[in-house]
């Protein structure tokens, strides 16, 4: 089983990590279904994102809001490489704490541990899974959206 560890920012009570070459911040939200980009949409283009030309409504404790569906290409988090990762861009969230919100669905079928005692986020990749992954947000016939994340 392969493993990688990212460090949590111990200054905060919620699990926040810095990742990538530019040290962008992400909130690990294990209650989230969709990954979210919280900043203006045009910045996503700098991160190899392309528009899917779809608008999605979603909800949380903050109520209902809307976002635009984008696909990030070759997006890396630790040892994971998402050749494609669909993400909702929503810059209407009030005072988001980080540029990204990472959802539970990004880590489907992986073994992960948020260790708030030692401020680590450990991810184990089982033998039958790859670190190369693909996350798609798919529209169903009834108009709702589902998330599928699998080894590529």
Partner 1 sequence: MQKIDNPSRMTWSIIMDTYPDVWVGITNVMWEKNGGTIESAVVEFTDKNGGELTEMQINSNGSFMAVYTTPDSVLQLGMVEAM
List residues near partner 1 by CB under 8 A. 6-14, 16-18, 21-25, 27, 29, 31-34, 36, 38-40, 43, 46-47, 56-62, 64, 91, 93-99, 101, 103, 119, 144-146
Look at strands 24-29 and 100-103 and give their pairing. parallel
DSSP 8-state secondary structure symbol assigned to residue 127:
T
Which residue's CB is nearer to partner 1, number 39 or number 131?
Answer: 39
Closest separation in Å from C-beta 77 to partner 1 = 14
Which residue's CB is nearer to partner 1, number 9 or number 83?
Answer: 9
Closest separation in Å from C-beta 130 to partner 1 = 26
Q: Rounded to 10 degrees, what is the CA torsion of 147, 15, 129, 82?
A: 60
| Half-sphere exposure at residue 38, Cβ-oriented, CA atoms within 13 angstroms | 14
On whether the CB atoms of residues 120 and 6 are closer than 8 A, the answer is: yes
Closest separation in Å from C-beta 120 to partner 1 = 8
Which residue's CB is nearer to partner 1, number 4 or number 18?
Answer: 18
Spatial distance between the Cα atoms of 103 and 29, rounded to a whole number of angstroms = 5
């Amino acid at each position: 089983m392969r493993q990688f560890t990212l460090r949590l920012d111990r200054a905060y009570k919620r699990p926040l990590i810095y990742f990538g070459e530019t040290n962008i911040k992400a909130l690990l939200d294990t209650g989230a279904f969709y990954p979210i980009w919280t900043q203006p949409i045009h910045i996503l283009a700098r991160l190899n994102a392309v528009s899917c030309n779809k608008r999605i409504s979603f909800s949380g404790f903050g109520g209902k809001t809307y976002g635009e569906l984008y696909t990030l290409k070759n997006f890396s988090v630790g040892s994971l490489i998402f050749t494609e990762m669909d993400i909702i861009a929503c810059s209407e969230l009030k005072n988001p704490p980080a540029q990204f919100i990472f959802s539970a669905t990004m880590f489907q079928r992986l073994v992960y541990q948020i260790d708030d005692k030692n401020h680590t986020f450990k991810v184990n990749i089982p033998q039958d899974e790859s670190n190369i992954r693909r996350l798609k947000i798919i529209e169903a016939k009834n108009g709702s959206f589902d998330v599928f994340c699998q080894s590529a």
